[in-house]
A and B are shown apart, each in its own frame.
Chain A
Amino acid sequence: GAVVSQHPSWVICKSGTSVKIECRSLDFQATTMFWYRQFPKQSLMLMATSNEGSKATYEQGVEKDKFLINHASLTLSTLTVTSAHPEDSSFYICSARGLADSYNEQFFGPGTRLTVL
C-alpha cells in the first residue's frame, strides 16, 4: 500500500508557541489530504479536508485560524497549531488520497503526539 509519513512523531512545546506538523505522501500524489485529532481513549475526529492548491474545508467546531492547513504540493500538507495551549495536546493524524484508482483509498500517517506544557 501507499506510504504516508508525518514529522515530527512527537513534539513538546510551551503554551503560546506555534507548532508545525508535516504530512507527506511518499510514493503517490495526494490530491486530497485529511487531518484528524484523537484524544486519549477516544476515536479519531476529522478536523479538515484539504485539496492541493485550494483552501482547506474545516469541520464544524474546528477553528480555522488556530489550525492552519497548507497543501501547497501534491506530496506535502502541513498543519500549524497556532498559540498552542494544554487543551490542544492530542494525537494528530493525517491521511492522504490520490487520483489513481488504486490510491483512491485513504492511507494514514503514523501520527504526531503533541504535548503542550
Chain B
Amino acid sequence: DIQMTQSPSSLSASVGHRVTITCRPSQSISSYLNWYQQRPGKAPKLLIYAASNLLSGVPSRFSGSGSGTDFTLTISSLQPEDFATYYCQQSYNTPYTFGQGTKLEIK
C-alpha cells in the first residue's frame, strides 16, 4: 500500500494568515492526489482533485500543487470556517489511502 505522510500533524495559525500543508506519498503518484476538509463531527468534503483542480464552489483561497512525491495545500488567507482537519488521498494504486490528517487550529 502507498503510505501518505502529512506534515505538520497539527498547526496553529491566525485568521488572515497563509498556511501550507504538505503531503508526501511513499512512492511517486503522478498527480493522482486529492485534498479533503473535515470539520468536527462532519463528513469530509472534497476541496481539490488531481493535485491542483479546485472543486466548483470551493473558495479560491484554497490551492493545491505538486506531483510525484511532494504535494502542498495552501490556504492564502485563513477564515474562521477553515479551522478543521485536512486529509490528502492518493488514487494512483488501490487500495486508495489517506494521510493521517493535519489539524488546523486557531491561534
Answer yes or no: do A and B interact.
no
Q: Which residues does A use to contact B, with CB under 8 Å?
A: none
- Which of B's residues lie within 8 Å of A, judged by CB? none
